[in-house]
Structure 1
Amino acid sequence: MLFRFLVLVMLVVVSSGCSWLGKKDERKYISDIGTLTVRTASDEPLGVDHRDVIRSYKSYLEVSTDPELRVRVAHRIAGLKLQWDETRMDQLGDDIDAMVEEDREMAEASIGDYEALLELYPDRIDNDTIYYQLAKAYSLAGRQNQAIAVLEELTERYPESIYYLEAQFRLGRMLYNVNDFEASESRFTQVVEFGFKGNPYYLDAQYFRGWALFKQNRLEDSLLSFTEMIDEHFPDDETLMAADGAELEVLNDTLRIMALMFDYLGDWNEIARFYDEHGTRYFEYRIYAELSNQYYEKKYYKSSASTLRAFVDRFPDDDRAPLYYRRLISGYEKAGYPMLRRKHKEIFIERFGVGSPYWETHGEEVRTLITVALGDYIWDLATFAHGWGQQTKSARDKRERLEQAAGWYREYIRSFPKAPDAVKAHFLLAEISYEIGNYDDARNNYEIVAYQYPFYENAAEAGYAALLAYNKYKPTPEEEARWRQLTVASAKRFVLEFPQDERRGTVLVNTAEMLLADEYYGQALTTARLAQESGVELPPRYSYGASLVQGHSAFELGKFEEAETALLAASEYSELNRKQRADLRQKSAAAIYKQGEAAQEENPEEAVAQWLRLAEVVPESDLRENAEYDAATLLMQTEDFARAEEVLLGFRENHPNSKFSNDIRSKLIIAYEGQGEWRQAAFELKTISDSGTDDEEKRIAAFQSAEYFEKAEDYDNAIVMYRRYAHTYKRPFDPAIEAHYKLDQIYAKLGEEEKRRFWLDKIISLHSRAGDDRTDRSRYLASKAAFELGEFDRRRFDDIEITLPLAKSIVRKNNAMQGALKRYTQAVEMEVLEFTTPATFHIGDMYAKFSRGLMESERPAGMDELEEEEYTFLLEDQAFPLEEAAIDIHQTNISRTYDGLYDEWVKKSFRSMARLMPGQYDKQEKAVTYVDQIR
C-alpha cells in the first residue's frame, strides 16, 4: 500500500502541471535535496486506461487522511474524467449520438466532481484550474450557459490566472455562439489589449472581434478592426503572400468578410473612401479582387468590372493594374458583353500601351505581362472596326469606322514594329488611308510594304499604289520640297525594284501628268525628266505628255529656259488642234518673257535681250508689247538712257495706241534728264501741261518744264512756263512762291530791274497774304525780296548828289532814302538774320551819309564870312538829327553782339561808329612797356 501511495502522489504532482509547484509555505534549500536514484523506465506501454487510473485514485481516497493530497487526488479524478470526455469527443467527432451511456455518465461525473471541489474548498487559490476544467466540462456536456457563467467567474476572481487569457477568449467564442455579440466583442477586446507577447490567442481574438463588430452591424468599426489585424500580422505584401495553413484561412476569410462589408456600405467606392479616411493600405488590391469575385459569382458583371476598374483608378501605377484590367475585360468577355469588352480594351491600350506613362515607368517584367494582352486587343479592335467600315452603307459611318481601324493598325505597328504580321498591318493601314483620302499615310505604308518587305505577296501592288497616293496628296508649302523628293524617289524605286512590271513604261509619265494636274510642279518636272532619261522608248503620246509636263512644270517652277524648249517641242505634236498649238506657243512666249524677268536683277542686259528676242521667236504673241515696254523700263533703271531713248521712240512708233503711251512720255522725260537733254525733256513736260487730263499732273509738269527750260538756258520758254505757273497756281503755296522767286532770278540774270521789282513785290505780297501757309522759306524769300528792293532805292539814294538848289536835290535824295528805309524795315521786321544786320547797317549808313552830304554840300556864292558861318550853323541843325539817328541805328546793330551775333555788318557798324563817335569807339590801346610797368 505504501508503494502504491507513493506512485499515486508522484502521478498527481507530475500531472498537475507547473501551477501546483512552489505554492506551499515550506522553503526548499539545496541542502534539503537528497540523493536520487534514477531508474530507467521500460519502453513497454502501460496496459492501463483512464478508468483504471480513476479507480486507483479512488482507492487512495479511501485510505488517505492528508487533506491536501485528498483535494489534489479528487481534482485529478475529475480531470481524468474530463480527459475521458475530450478523448471520446475526438474519437466520435460530430456524431454525438454515438456516445454510450458510460461516456455521458463520465461527463456528468466530472462536472459533479468539480462542483463538489468548489463547494468543499471555495477559497483555494488554485481554484482557477477547477473553474477552467469545470467550464470545459460544461462545454463538452453541451451546457453552454453554465460554461459561460463559470468562465465569467474565473476571469472575475482570478485575473492573474494562467487561464485568464484563454478563459476570456473562450468566453468570447461562447458569447458569439449564443449571439451576444456585444459581450463577445468586449471579451475579444480584452484579449487583444493584453498584447501579442505571451498571447497565443492574439490573432484569433482580433479576427473574432472583427466578426463580433460585424454581427452588431458596426461595419466601419469591424473594417477598422480587421484592417488593424492585417496591419499587425501581415505588415507587407511579402508576409501576406507567405501566409499558409490556419493563418491563410483566417486571412482569406477576413478579406472575404471585408469585401462583403464594403458592398453592404454601398459599393466599391467605399473602399477608397474608407482608406482615404484611415490611411491607404498596401493590401487594398486583395479587397478589390475579393469584392470583384463576389460580384462576379452573383453575376453582377458590371459591378465586378467596376470594382476592378476602381482599383486601377485608385492605384494607376500599381504593378497589378494591367492584370486587374485584363480580368475586367475577361469578365465582360465571359459574360457576353462585346461592346463593353471592346471599350475597355481601348482603355487598356490607352492606359498601359507601349509608350504610355505607365509603360515608361515600369520594368520589363510588368511590360511582358502587358504585352501578352496588348497585341490581341489592338488587332481585335482594328479588324472589328475595319470589317464594320467595309460593311456599312453610311458614308459618314464608313469613314469614322475606317479611321478607327487605321488608328488601331497604326497603334499595332507602333507597339510591335518587329512582329511577323506588322507588314499586314502596314498594308491594311495603307488601304484604309487611301480609301479615306489620307494619302500621305497611305503612300508611306505602301512604300514600307513594297520596299521593306519585297517578298510580300502584295509588294508590287503596294509600290504602284504608293505612286497613286503621291499623285492624290496635296502637300503644304512647307512640305513641297520634301514631297517632291519623295515622289521622285518612289517612282524611281518602283522602276528599279520591279523591272518586270508591265506598267514600268507608263508609270513615270502617268505619275508626272497626275502630279501636274494636282499642281505638284516640282515632282511633276522631276518625274517627266526621269521618264525622258530612263531609257524607256516612249510612244508619241507619252513623249508629248512628258514634254508637256516638263514645259508646264518648269514654267511654274521658274525654270523658264527649260519650259520654253519643252513647250515648243510639245507644240509640234501632230494631234494638236489650232487653239492648243497657239496656247503652247503663247506660253512659250511667256517663258521667254519670264526669262527676262528672272534675269533683270542680276543681268539686266540679258533681260533686255530676252524681251526684245520675244518678237523674233513668237512675233504673234500678245506679250510683245509688254516685253518691249519692260525692256525700255529696265534700260531706264540701269540708266542706259541712250538705248532707252531708242527703244522708247521705237515703241511709240510701233504701238501708237498703247495703254503705256502716257508712261512712255514720262520715261522719255527721264531718259532726256539722264542724258542732260533738258530742253527735250522740258518740251515733253510742256506737252503734259498743255494737254494732260489730270490737274495735279499738269501743275507739276508746268513747274518742272519751267525748271528744265531754265537748266537748258532757254530763258524765254522758262519765263513763259514760270509765269504760267505763277498766274495759274496759287496753291500749293510753296511751289507758288518759288515760281515767283524763279522769275526774279531769271530777270536778275537778264538785268531787267523793273520786271524784277514786279516779281519781288509779288513775293512780299504773296507771303503777307499766306496766313497759316507761311513757312520759314517764304519768310526768307519775302525778307530777301524786301532787302533787294531796298537795295535798288539805296543805290539810287547813293547816286543823288546834294547840289544847289538844295531844296530840289534834298527832296529827291530824301524820297530815295524813304523808299529804301521802307523796304529795309520790311526786311528787318521779318526777322531773317541774313538780312537784319545788313538792312540795319544800311539804314544807319544812309542817315550818316545824308548828314555828311548836307555838311559837305556846295555853298551858295557871294556869302561873306559871317553869312557863311550862319549858313553852316543852319546845315548843322539839319544834319545833327540825321547823325544822331545814324548813331542810334548803328548802336542797335552793335547791341546784337550781346546775343552772340558778330557778323560783317555789325563790324561795319562799329567802324561807322568810330567815325561818328571817335572818342568812344575809336580809342587806341596804349602799349605799356615792361620797364614802365616796373616804374
Structure 2
Amino acid sequence: MSFLKTVVLISVVFTLSACSWLGKKDERRYLSDIGTLTVRTASNEPLGVDHKDVIRSYKSYLEVGTDPEMRVRVAHRIAGLKLQWDEVRLDEFGDDIDSMVAEDREMAEASIGDYEALLSLYPDRIDNDAIYYQLAKAYSLAGRTNQAIAVLEELTARYPESIYYLESQFRLGRMLYNVRDYEASEMRFEQVVAFGDQGNPYYLDAQYFGGWALFKQNRLEDSLLAFTEMIEEHFPDDETLMAAEGAELEVLNDSLRIMALMFDYLGDWTEIARFYDEHGSRYFEYRIYAELSNQYYEKKYFKSSASTLRAFVDRFPDDDRAPLYYRRLISGYEKAGYPQLRRKHKKIFIERFGVGSPYWNSHGEDVRTLITVALGDYIWDLATFAHGWGQQSSSKSQKRERLTEAADWYREYIRSFPKAPDAVKAHFLLAEISYEIGNFDDARNNYEIVAYQYPFYENAAEAGYAALLAYNKYRPTPEDALRWRQLTVASAKRFVLEFPEDERRGTVLVNTAEMLLGDEYYEQALSTARLAQKSGVELPPRYSYGASLVQGHSAFELGEFAEAEGALLAASEYTELTRKERGELRQKAAAAIYKQGEAAQESNPEEAVAQWLRLADVVPESNLRENAEYDAATLLMQVADYPRAQEVLLAFRDTYPKSEFSADIRSKLIIAYEEQGEWRQAAFELQSVSDSGSNDEEKRIAAFQSAEYFEKAEDYDNAIVMYRRYAHTYKRPFDPAIEAHYKLDQIYAKLEEEEKRRFWLDKIISLHLRAGEDQTDRSRYLASQAAFELGEFDRNKFDSISISLPLAKSIVRKNNAMQGALKRYTQAVEMEVLEFTTPSTYHIGEMYAKFSRGLLESERPAGMDELEEEEYTFLLEDQAFPLEEAAIDIHQTNIGRTYDGLYDEWVKKSFDSMAVLMPGQYDKQEQAVSYVDQIR
C-alpha cells in the first residue's frame, strides 16, 4: 500500500473510531468531516499553470541562483507546491488511492524531504514555524502520524507566539485522540479552550473533543459536565439552540447523543435528574431526555424509552413540552404494539393535561392547541374501546362496568370539546349507552341535545324519539314527578315542532297525553292532546280516540267545559267502545254542558239557561237533564225573568210529574205568578198545596195565602172559600185566624151581604174575647171595629125607624134597635180602641138625643083637644127628658176626653151636639174657640 493511501486510511479509521457509537451515517457527518490539516504555504496566490511545470521552473532557478534568501524562499515554494499537488490529487481521487500514479507518491514524499532539508540547512530561521507546520501536515498526509505529532509538539514548544500555535495545539489534540492517548489529547484541547473564544476558531471544537477525550477515559461525570458547559456557553437559551445550523448543529446533536449514552451508562434516565440536581438544572435537559428515549426505542427498549419521557414530564410537569413528550410516550407504545399500556397512559395524559386540569388552566392557547388534537383522539379512542368491549361482554356486570366507563369518556369528550364537529356523535353514543344501562335521565338529556341542538344531524329525529322513550322509562321521585312530566310534555312538543315530517309525531303526542292524564297532570295533558290533533298527521282511529279522550277529560278537570263537551262526544263515536263506555262518555259530555251553565250563571245568566236547556237536545238520556232544567228555572227566577221561568217550570212539571223537585216547582211557580201579578194562578197553586200538601203548617199557610191571592184577583167566591176554610180549620195561630175572619167580613162588605157580615163580625168579637193570653192589639182593634160595625148596623136600623102611632109599637121597635146598637157600641168602647171609642160614644149620645127629639116630634093622636094635647106633650117631655139628659151625659163624657189630650172629629161633633142640647153653655163661640185653643 502506498504511503499516501496509508495516510488517508489512518484518517478514516480515526473518524470511524470517534463516531462508531452513533447510529445513522447521515447523522455523523461532522465527525467524518474532521479532515487532515491544511498546510499554510509561503504564497497563497492561485496557480495559473500546471504544478509540475512550476516546480521545474523553481528548480531551474536553484541551479543558477546565488542569493541565499531567495534560494530559501524558492525551496519553500517548491516544497509547498509539492504538498499542494498531493492535496489536489487526494481530493481528486478520494479513497481510490491506487489510482494515484507513482510520480504523485514520489512528489508527496519529496515535499517531506524538502521541509526536512530546509530545517537542516536553516535551523534558526524565525519563520521555521511555518516549515514545522507544513512538515507536520506532510507527515499527516503521508500517514506518518507519530512524526507529525512530534513535529507539532516541537512547533508548540519552540514557537508559542506562532500564528500556527493554536491550530497546532488543536491538531495535536486530534492526533493524540486518534492514537488513543486520551489524557494527552484532553490536555491539548484544554490549552485551546484556555486561550478563550476571542479569535479562536477552534474553541467550540476543542470543547467538544475535550468532552470526548474525557468520555474515552471513562470519566463520565466530567465528560457530562464538559458537554453541559459547552452547550450552555454556546447555546445560552432555547432560541439559540433552535437556531443552530451547519457545523454548530452537528456539534450540538453529537454532544446530546453522547450525553444521553453516558446517562445510560451511569444507570438509566434517573441519572439525568440526579446529575442536574447536583450541578444545577439546565434548560436543555429536555433534549437529553428525548435523545435517550430515542436510543432506547431504536434498541427496542420500549418501556425504557417511555419511562425516560415520563421522567421528563415528572421532572418538569409544567413545561410546555410535557404533553408533547407524553404523546411521544403513547405513540411509542402504539408503534411497539402495547395496547394496554397505550390506553393506560392515554388516561394519564387526559388526567394530567386535559381540559380543566391545573396544567391546562395554567397554559396559554398556543400550548392548548398542541394538546387538543391528541386529547380528543385519546378520549375518543378510550370511549369507543370501552363501548365496543361493553357491547361484546356476555357478563351483565362487566357489560355495565364497561359501558359506564365508555359513558364517562364520552362525557369527558363533550366537556372538553363541546363545539367539536363530532360532539353530537358523542352525545348520541352517550345517550345510547345511558339508555342501555338504565340511566334514562341522562339518556333523554343527551338525546334531546342531539335532536334539538343539532337538528341537521343524520340521527336527530331518532334521537328526539328515543328521548321520549327514555322519558317513559324513567321513574322520577314523587318530589320530582311534576318537573319530569313537564319536561316530557316539552320534549314531545319539541319533537313535533322540530320534525314536522316525522310520521310518529301524532302518536308520540297521544301517548304522552295519555300518560299525563293518568298522572293527573291535566294542563300538560290537554295542551299535548291539542297538539296531537293539530300535528298535521292523520291519526289512526285508536289514537284519534285517545287524543279526544285525553282532551275531553283534561279539559273537564280544568274547567274548559265547552272543549270537554266536544272532545268527549267525539271520543264516544269510537267504534271499539262498549255500550257502557260510550254511555259514560256521553254522560260526562252532559256534565260538561251542565258545567258550562254553572260557569256562566253569574256573569251571563241567559247563557247559563241556554246551556242547561240544550242538554235535553244533545244528550237527552242524561240523568243530569232534570237537574239542568230545574236549575234553568231557578236561575230564571233569580234574575226575575218570570215569564220564561213560568214557561220552564210548567214544562218541567209536565215532563217530570214525579220529580223530587215538584214541591219546589210549585213554590217557584207561585213566586213567578206573584211577581207577574197573576194572583189567581198563584192562588190555585197555593190551594193545591193546601189540598195535597204533606206538611200541616205548609197547608195552613198555603190556605191563607191562597185566599189572599184570590182576593187580590177579585175572585171573591174562591177567596171566601179559602178564608172560610182557614177560619173553620185553623184556630191557631190566633193572629191569622182572626185575620181570616176579618177578611171574610171585608169581602162580604164589598158584596154588601150584611147578614153574612154580621156572622163574621160577631165571630171576630167572640174569637177575641175567647183568646185569653193570645189577645193582641190587632185582635182588640178588629174586635172593637167589629162591635162598632155591628153597632152601626143597629144604629142605621134605629135611624130608619120613626116614632109614629101607635107609639107603643114604634117606640118598642126603635128602642130595640137602639139597645142593639148600644150593646155593640158599648163593646167597642169597652175594648178601648180610641178609633172606635169616640165615635161609639158620640153615636150613643146622638141616639139618645134623637130618641128624645123623636118623642117630642112624634105624631099626636087624632081627636085630642088642646088640653089633652098639652098633657100629652107633657107626658112625652117626661119621657124625652131622661133621654136628653142621657145624651148630654154621654156627649159630656166624650168631650171630657179632651182633658186626656184627645180631640178628634167625634169629640168635635159631641161639642156640636152639646151646643144644640145646651146652647147656653156650649153655643158660645168665644168659649168654644177658647176651649178648643186650650185643648190644643
Instruction: State the TM-score, normalizing by the size of structure 2.
Output: 0.49
- Structure with greater contact order relative to length (CA < 8 Å, sep ≥ 6): 2
Q: Whose radius of gyration is greater, 1 or 2?
A: 2
Structure 1 length as normaliser, TM-score? 0.49
